[in-house]
Amino acid sequence: MAKYKLEYIWIDGYDPVPNLRSKTRVVECAGFPSLADVPMWGFDGSSTRQAEGKSSNCLLRPVAVYPDAARENGVLVLAEVLSPDGSPHFSNARATIQDDPEAWFGFEQEYFLLKDGRPLGFPRDGYPEPQGKYYAGVGHALVGDIAREIVEEHLDLCLEAGLEHEGINAEVAKGQWEFQIFGKGGKNAADQLWIARYLLMRLCEPYGVDVEWHCKPLQGDWNGSGMHTNFSTRHMRETGGREYFEALMAAFEKNRNEHIAVYGPDNHLRLTGLHETQSIDKFNYGVGNRGASIRVPSAFVSDGYRGYIEDRRPNSQGDPYKIASRILQTIATVPLR
């Protein structure tokens, strides 16, 4: 029997931007614990805006386990928050997903790395060279000195955790980066994204670096941060067709406000019609169009309107549970033909 360090990770009750919380429990287990080996737990909800002081206990129901390569015998335990009676807590967006395991999601998470409140690589005063060469760039002048070390370590931690991590790239603004997480099923994909966010924030602690998830941390001619959400259902991949696609887009247009409501706070600052975005009060789609609300890959059209499409509106601070939930909800309104 070995002692495993179980890091229970959950999402708190702050609104509009919840925080990740975690605490450790040591448990003896014969081998690497599976989900069934991991017990329910609880926490003080009055410290996380999830309960009043008088009856403050909230429950943690484990929903997924991942190896934690940063710790010996470490386990990352993602948990849903339940009320004391066992029902889903109001802060538990995961529980709202009407999931479809055949719906595939790919999240492109953008973010800034900040030191002393400034993006990594920014001079102490003023601004660096305007954006242009930073996207996918190489060299100290473009990337700075610790950013790549951090993103590389993060990639390894994600892979060692077994996440379906698909890649990384330096982004358009200086100090801005992206990673991509894929998953089958809305819950599964969003679970992995939250774990990847947790690993990045924890990794940055000893560097004295903060992860800035806000969608528009820099004023002026600097890109904001999105979380483009790529998705496909079995029907989209295997049957598709122009008629179905147009009906799907009509449903997305009709539910524009409902989508924007869960696509992350302050999105009006980012969805301006500039910097590869469509403005927040418009809806359109376009083949290969990075200025559209929804980008349709050209292969989608040439394959008979089959495959995945990219909703470019969700932002970097959005909750992937709410985003996946809303996308699935809108898809479910469109009859298959």
**Structural tokens at position 29:** 């287990």
Sign of CA dihedral 140, 143, 146, 148: negative
Query: Given candidates 18, 33, 62, 106, which one binds ligand ADP under the rule CB under 6 A?
Result: 106
Q: How far is CA 260 from CA 98, 105, 252, 265, 297, in A?
A: 19, 18, 11, 9, 22
* Closest C-alpha to 309, from 281, 331, 329: 331
DSSP reduced 3-state for 157 = helix
| Whole-Å CA distances, 104 to 133, 223, 230 | 32, 27, 8
Tokens 């360090």 identify what position? Answer: 5
Among the candidate windows 5-13, 58-66, 107-115, 126-134, which touches Mn ion by CB under 5 A? 107-115
What is the closest distance, in whole angstroms, from the C-beta atom of residue 192 to ligand ADP in the complex? 11
Per rule CB under 6 A, is residue 305 in the interface with ligand ADP? no
**What contacts 286, CB < 8 A, 6 or more positions away?**
292, 294, 295, 296
Q: Which is nearer to Mn ion, 174 or 228 (CB)?
A: 228
Nearest residue to ligand ADP on Cβ basis? 106
Residues in contact with Mn ion, shown as a per-residue x/- string from 173 to 192 under the rule CB under 5 A: -----x--------------
**CB-nearer residue toward ligand ADP: 182 or 305:** 182
Regarding 230 and contact with ligand ADP (CB under 6 A), the answer is yes
**Residue selected from 182, 245, 263, 321 as contacting ligand ADP according to rule CB under 6 A:** 182
What mask of x and - would describe binding to ligand ADP in positions 29 to 68, judged by CB under 6 A? Answer: ----------------------------------------
Interaction between residue 311 and Mn ion (CB under 5 A) = no
CB 313 within 8 A of CB 263: yes
Query: What does the block give as tokens for 193?
Result: 């994204």
Q: Among 37, 102, 166, 253, which residue interacts with ligand ADP (rule: CB under 6 A)? A: 166
